[in-house]
Amino acid sequence: MLALILSQMATGLVLGGLYVLIAIGLSIIFGQLGIVNFAHGGFFALGAYFALSLYNQFGWPAVVLAPVLVGLVGMLVERTLIHRLYDKEPLISLIVTFALALMIEALLQRIYGGVGRPFSQPPILNGIYLWGPLLITKYRLAVFLLCMAILVALWAFMQFTPYGRILRAGSRDPEMVGLLGIRLPRVLTAVFGLGCALAGIAGVLAAPLWTVIPAMSEMAIMPAFVVVVIGGLGSFAGAVIAGLLVGVVSALTVQFEPDAANAVMYVFMAIVLLLRPRGLLGERWERFE
């Protein structure tokens, strides 16, 4: 039994890594822009579908091109729609992004149809590793390592580059950043694009594992919100810890109480919020109080 539990924990960590990647873009967009982006799952699905379409034209480079394209679509959406919401009631941004999510799903259904599209991982990543009782597939291990590498790169970008410093300052005091002569609107467009591109990467990585259907956006958005809320809205480290925890808790629940496998993350969220209403690493942000 111990061996199986260890296997389940390893599987949960890998799933958690994917949840983190989906959630981190959502967290960045909320942290920097103050927008709760309900359409994030839509950008996740766009990543999978763009990879599918581009693969037919360009082969494997499509997995790099697809998130870039999702990021560009995100920037376009920010310029045409999202930037109008910055000084509005939060409820309006919820409604608008929810409508956007429905629109993206309907658009995908219109273009690609409702039938799932097969998409396989690169042949080099076929197969499994068996280490004693532990079983992990080559593809899942690669996904986990890639997720961690992206997160480290993102953290380094935010901490050590001038651009990252502008982002962090802008999230706390946008007026002051503006007074310093920095054109914040452009920065915000780039941030929204970055968040969407991260969702796109997650979509590309999930495509060989999940069924590529327009409704895959719904499967991604709820775990992403749970992870962001548990971690603390806008907290990078919080989202990473919460994502991995949610993955492990879900996997262990499958072992002992499979009926509750999807519900357990919400119970976990409720417990965390009862004990710590701002989430695990959530801070008090005057801008949002």
The binding site for other proteins (CB under 8 A) comprises: 4, 7-8, 11-12, 14-15, 105-106, 109, 113-121, 127-128, 135, 137, 139-140, 206, 208-216, 218-220, 223, 250-251, 254-255, 258-259, 261-263
Report the nearest approach of other proteins to the CB of residue 242 (Å): 17
Closest distance of CB 61 from other proteins, Å: 21
CB within 8 A of 108, min separation 6: which ones?
45, 46, 49, 214
**Would you say 29 or 52 has its CB closer to other proteins?**
52
Cα(230)–Cα(262) distance, rounded to whole angstroms?
Answer: 16
Structure tokens at 12: 């949960």
* Closest CB 120 distance from other proteins, rounded Å: 6
Whole-angstrom Cα distance, residue 219 to residue 222? 7
Amino acid at 16: G
Alpha helix segments (H runs only) across the chain: 2-33, 40-58, 62-80, 90-112, 138-160, 162-172, 174-179, 184-206, 216-231, 236-256, 264-275
Minimum distance between the CB of residue 18 and other proteins, rounded to whole angstroms? 8
Q: Which is nearer to other proteins, 169 or 252 (CB)?
A: 252
Give the CA angle between residues 68, 70, 75 to the nearest 5°.
95
What is the C-alpha to C-alpha distance for residues 34 and 59, in angstroms, rounded to an integer?
Answer: 37
In the bound state with other proteins, the residue whose beta carbon lies nearer, of 10 and 35, is 10
Q: Which is nearer to other proteins, 78 or 105 (CB)?
A: 105
Min separation Cβ 123 and other proteins, Å: 10
| 3-state SS assignment for residue 120 | coil
Reading the block at residue 203, the tokens are 């979509």
- Torsion, Cα 23 13 204 254, to 10 degrees, reads -90
Residue 89 vs 259, nearer CB to other proteins: 259
Residue number with CB closer to other proteins (143 or 154): 143
Minimum CB–partner distance for residue 37 and other proteins (Å): 19
